[in-house]
Chain A
Amino acid sequence: MTEQEIFAVVRRHLVDVLPDLDESRIQLDRSMKDLGANSIDRMDVVIGVQDELGVTVPASAMKDVHDLRSLVVALQAHS
C-alpha cells in the first residue's frame, strides 16, 4: 500500500474517534495529541488502523512514532 492509502485509513479512524475534528487539520506533520486525541483515543486509532490493514506494528517500532508521518511510515514498514 502507498503512504497515501495508509494515511487515508488513518484519517478515517481519527475522524471516527474525534467526530468534531476539522479534517483539514489532519496533516502528516501533526501528532494525534495535537489534534485532541487522548491516550485511549490514540490507542483506538492505532488498533483500528492495524486491524483494518491487517498489519501488526511491534511496540518497539511504535516508540519512534511522534507524528502522523512516522505512524504511516511504521505501518508501511510492517505491511
Chain B
Amino acid sequence: MTPERVFITSAAVLCTVAEDLDAFRSALLEGRSGVADADGARLSFDLGDWAGRHLDEVTGRRLKQVAHRAALPAQTAACVALKTARRLGERAGLIVAGGQPLGHQADTVLRHRDKPGALRASYALTHLDVDVVGVVSELTGIRGEGWALGGGSAGGTLAVIQAARMITAGWLDQVLVVAPLAELSAAEFEAFRRTGAMISGDATCRPFDEERSGFVYGQAAAAIVLERESIARTPLAEIAGHGHCLDARRGTEPDSDGQVRAMRAALGQADPAEVDYVNAHGTGSVLGDETEARSIGTVFGASTPLVNSTKPLVGHCLSAAGLVELVATVVQLGANAVHPNPTLGRPIDGIRLAGRTAAHQSVRTALSNSFAFGGINASVLVRAA
C-alpha cells in the first residue's frame, strides 16, 4: 500500500510584523522588517491583548487559565496553536520545536541567588521545554504523542520532518507542529556575538550580500497542522519531500556536502528544474551564506530557482526559524510571489536572488532550508495543493 501524502492544512504565525497570515503575506511581499534591536529586547507584539484580538471570550479565558503563568515561549506557543483553530484528539500528535525558556531560567537563577526564599514551586514546571507540551495539549485536546524536539537553528524544520514521518508511517492522522518563540538570556546573546555569527551594534542583516556581517535575532512563534491526505479537507500545501543529515562534525562551521545531501534527499525523485523558489537558511553570516549559495548552485545547476531569505524581515528566530520560514514559504506559494531581499545591495555570485521588490511569478514548488550548529542540515520540499 502506498503511504498517504501529507498536507499542511492550517498555519499560524506570531511575529513582530504580523499576527495572522494575511498580515504576514503583506509584510513579506512589501519587504517590511520587524527585527529586534541589538539587544534583542524589542517584543513588538503584545501578548496581553492578543486574546482580545484573536479569540472569542470563552477561548480567551481558557488561554489565560492554562498559560498565564507559563514562561513566554509557552505563552506564544499557546497563541499560535489556538490560532490554527483545530480541535485535535486521540489520533493527533504534538511536536514542539525547542521551547527552552532560557531568559526565564537565567532570571530565576539570578533571583534565587539573591533571594532563595522567593523561588516559586511552579518553576519546577516553567523551566521545562515540556511545559509547552502540557500547555498546548491542554488547549487543543491532543491525546496522542507529545514531543519536545531539539535541533538548534534547524529545530522547526526537524519537527516538521518528524511530524510528516509519523503520518506517513500511519502512526498518527494529524500532527500539530509548534515552534515557540526562542528566548535567550544575556549570556547566549553575548556568546552568539562572540562567535561572530550575530551582528554587533546596529549593522543590518544582509543575507547573500558582499557586505553581510552576521544574523540579527528575531522573536516569532509559528504553528502548522499536518494531516494525511484522506482527511485533509483544507490543504494549503503538500509536504512533498524532506531531507535531514549530519556532517559528523561538532561545531559552528557549515559543510556544503551535508547541505547538498539534505536538499537532494528532500527533492527525492523530483526534477530540480521543477523547483521555482528556495527559502534559504540565509542568516547573513559570512561563511554560512557563501557555503549555502555554493550548495544551491551544486544542486540546481543551470535551473536556478529564485532564492530569498526571510531573516532580514523577521530576524533569525533560531529554534522557530524553520517553521516560521516554512509558513512564509506556504504563504508565497499561495500568493504566487517571492518576497524581496530588501537589504540586498551587492549580491554575491552563483545564485539567482530575489531583488528589492517582490517577484510575481508562478510559485508551485519550493524548498526551505535550515542548518544548525552541530553539523545539522535539513530541507523540506513543499508543493502548492
Contacts and interface: CB of A to CB of B under 8 A. Distances in A.
> Sorted from nearest, which 8 A-B pairs have the closest CB atoms?
A43-B121, A51-B118, A44-B120, A40-B122, A44-B122, A40-B121, A19-B64, A20-B65
Nearest to B119: A47
Interface in A1-34: 17, 19-20
Interface in A47-77: 47-48, 50-51, 56
Nearest to A47: B120
A48 B120 contact: yes
A50 B119 CA distance: 11
A8 to B, nearest CB: 20
B74 to A, nearest CB: 15
Given A40-B121, A44-B120, A17 B65 contact: no
Nearest to B125: A40
B5 interface: no
Interface of B: 61, 64-65, 68-69, 115, 117-122, 124-125
A32 B118 CA distance: 20
B33 to A, nearest CB: 35
A43 B118 CA distance: 11
Contacts, number: 31
Interface residues of A, number: 12
A48 B115 CA distance: 12
Contacts of A44: 69, 120-122
Contact of B69 (A17, A43, A56): A17
A19 B62 CA distance: 10
A37 B195 CA distance: 46
A20 B124 CA distance: 23
A19 B124 contact: no
Contacts of B118: 47-48, 51
Given A43-B120, A47-B117, 19 more contacts: A19-B65, A20-B61, A20-B64, A20-B65, A40-B122, A40-B124, A40-B125, A43-B122, A44-B69, A44-B122, A47-B118, A47-B119, A47-B120, A48-B118, A48-B120, A50-B117, A51-B115, A51-B118, A56-B117
B5 to A, nearest CB: 42
Nearest to A18: B65
A19 B68 CA distance: 8
Nearest to B120: A44
A17 B65 CA distance: 9
Nearest to A50: B117
Contacts of A48: 118, 120
